[in-house]
Amino acid sequence: MKFLIVGDVVGKPGRRVLREKLSSLREELQIDAVIVNGENAAGGLGITPEVCEEILGYGVDVITTGNHIWDKKEIVAYIEHQPRLLRPLNYPDGVPGRGSLILEKGGKVWAVVNLSGRVFMPPLDCPFRRMEEELKHLHEETRLILVDFHAEASSEKIAMGWFLDGKVSCVFGTHTHVATADERILPQGTAYITDIGMTGAHDSVIGIEVADIVGRFLTQMPVKYRVAKENVKLNGIVVEVDDTTGKAQKIFRLSVPLAEHV
């Protein structure tokens, strides 16, 4: 299978470039399934039920998230009834929603897992141990497993890549909104990249207007963040996986410009 995995979608500009480019990318790259991180898709922070349905309507198979999943209060009830919207697996027991999903497409069974890091992040359960437990039942269904590790520290992400090498098809990092150039296939066949970047306005500070963020650093005063609009791009990766073994065969980065202002 060939997967397109799209980096954190930020606000309307991110949703627009996803909407306008996804169909052609699917056709050009012969994509079988699409995963999108959507935790910043509604106004730059969080996701709403309406925005979730909009993104799924573009032809996205699964939406992953991270620490901003609960920023919009209406998502709490909605996530219980929308299995294709994931929150990190390592939230404590009893939290609404789910952290993994097994899907079937074209006769092929595959799975997506969403994890959150703990370094400079909210203190959730251990992502390493929770993932280890989850693999016990996932491996009964499929070897094609893709993991969104939503984390701040590069070291924690790299450690997760090595920890899961040979156990999953791909470990891709999200959260920082800054794409890294360290994509590789690890020795036991797991594709890895520290961060797949951001889908949104790149003349910005990680998707937000420059003046807002600089002002906050200068004054340490509260600032209302505005989603930036200039130099919009879709960032992500394409991963090709052997259908039988679940081992990655290829991984490469994408940066696709909208080529106009939003």
Is 139 annotated among the ligand-binding residues? no
**DSSP-derived secondary structure letter, 81:** G
Q: Write out the two tokens for 61.
A: 């198979």
Is 39 annotated among the ligand-binding residues? yes
Contact partners, residue 30, CB within 8 Å, separation at least 6: 2
CB contact burial 44-76 (16+ within 10 A = b; e otherwise): bbbbbbebbebbbebebbbbbbbbbbbbbeebe
Distance of alpha carbon 37 from alpha carbon 222, whole angstroms: 27
Is 261 annotated among the ligand-binding residues? no
Residue 202: active-site member:
no
Is 150 annotated among the ligand-binding residues? yes
Point out the catalytic residue in the list 68, 81, 139, 261. 68
CB atoms within 10 A of CB 96: 15
Contact partners, residue 109, CB within 8 Å, separation at least 6: 102, 103, 141, 142, 144
Is 177 annotated among the ligand-binding residues? yes
Is 90 annotated among the ligand-binding residues? no
Is 37 annotated among the ligand-binding residues? no
Binding residue positions: 8, 39-40, 67, 150, 175, 177
Annotated binding residues for Fe cation, written as ranges, equal 8, 39-40, 67, 150, 175, 177
Catalytic residues: 68
